[in-house]
Structure 1
Amino acid sequence: MDDLTDPTPSRDESELAIEGALRPGSLADFVGQMKVRGQLQLLLDAARLQQRPADHILLAGPPGLGKTTLAMIVAHESDRPLRMSSGPAIQHAGDLAALLSSLTPGEVLFIDEIHRMARSAEEMLYLAMEDFRIDIMVGKGAGATSIPLDLAPFTLVGATTRAGLLPNPLRDRFGFTAHLEYYEPEELERVLERSARMLEVPLPAGSRAEIARRSRGTPRIANRLLRRVRDYVVVHGGSATEESVDAALDLYDVDVIGLDRLDRAVLDALVRRFHGGPVGLNTLAVTVGEEADTIESVIEPYLVRIGFMGRTPRGRVATPDAYAHLGVRHADQSLRFDDL
Structure 2
Amino acid sequence: MTDAYPGNAYPGDPYGDAAIDRESDGSFDANARIVDPAAVEGDEGRVEAALRPRRLEDFPGQPRVREQLALVLEAARRRGAPPDHILLSGPPGLGKTTLAMITAAELEAPIRVTSGPAIQHAGDLASILSSLTEGEVLFLDEIHRMSRAAEEMLYLAMEDFRVDIVVGKGPGATAIPLELPPFTVVGATTRAGLLPAPLRDRFGFTGHLDFYDTGDLEAIIRRSATLLEIEADDHGVHEIARRSRGTPRIANRLLRRVRDWAQVHGSHVVDLAAAEAALALFDVDASGLDRLDRGVLEALCRRFAGGPVGLSTLAVAVGEEPDTVETVAEPYLVREGYMIRTPRGRVATTRTWEHLGLEPPAGTGEAPGGPMAPTLPLDDPS
Give the TM-score taking structure 1 as reference length: 0.94
2:374 and 2:93 mapped to 1: Cα distance? 31
- Local SS of the residue matching 2:58: coil
Percent identity reads 65
Choose 11-20 or 133-142, whichever is displaced more: 11-20
- Structure with higher helix content: 1
| Deviation string, structure 1 residues 248-282 (Cα, Å, up to 9, x no partner) | 01100001111111211111111112211122222
Structure 1 runs of 4+ with >4 Å offset: 10-17
Deviation, 1:313, is 2.3
- Local SS of the residue matching 2:132: coil
User: Residue 221 in 1 paired to residue 250 in 2?
Assistant: yes
Which one of the candidate residues 212, 235, 245 is aligned to 1:206? 235
Deviation, 1:16, is 7.5
The one-letter amino acid paired with 1:337 is M
Give the TM-score taking structure 2 as reference length: 0.84
- The aligned residue for residue 4 of structure 1 is none
Which one of the candidate residues 343, 347, 355 is aligned to 1:313? 343
Q: How does 1:106-125 map to 2 (within 5 A)?
A: 106-125=135-154
Deviation, 1:339, is 5.7
Deviation, 1:185, is 0.7
1:104 and 1:338 mapped to 2: Cα distance? 59
| Residues 155 and 17 of structure 1: CA distance in aligned 2, closer, same or farther (over 3 Å) | farther
Which one of the candidate residues 3, 26, 29 is aligned to 2:58? 29
- Name the count of aligned residue pairs: 334
CA-atom RMSD in angstroms? 1.8
Which one of the candidate residues 274, 281, 293 is aligned to 1:244? 274
Deviation, 1:12, is 7.8
Deviation, 1:15, is 4.7
| Residues 152 and 216 of structure 1: CA distance in aligned 2, closer, same or farther (over 3 Å) | same
Structure 2 contact 53–98 (Cα < 8 Å) conserved? yes
Deviation, 1:247, is 0.4
| Residues 181 and 136 of structure 1: CA distance in aligned 2, closer, same or farther (over 3 Å) | same
Q: Give ranges in structure 1 of 5+ residues lacking alignment.
A: 1-6
Deviation, 1:317, is 1.5
Choose 97-106 or 285-294, whichever is displaced more: 285-294
- The aligned residue for residue 8 of structure 1 is 10
- The aligned residue for residue 158 of structure 1 is 187
Which one of the candidate residues 72, 80, 88 is aligned to 1:43? 72
Choose 254-263 or 17-26, whichever is displaced more: 17-26
1:255 and 1:329 mapped to 2: Cα distance? 20
- Local SS of the residue matching 1:130: helix
Structure 2 contact 155–202 (Cα < 8 Å) conserved? yes
- Local SS of the residue matching 1:159: strand
Deviation, 1:338, is 4.8
- Local SS of the residue matching 1:148: strand
2:18 and 2:101 mapped to 1: Cα distance? 21
- The aligned residue for residue 264 of structure 1 is 294
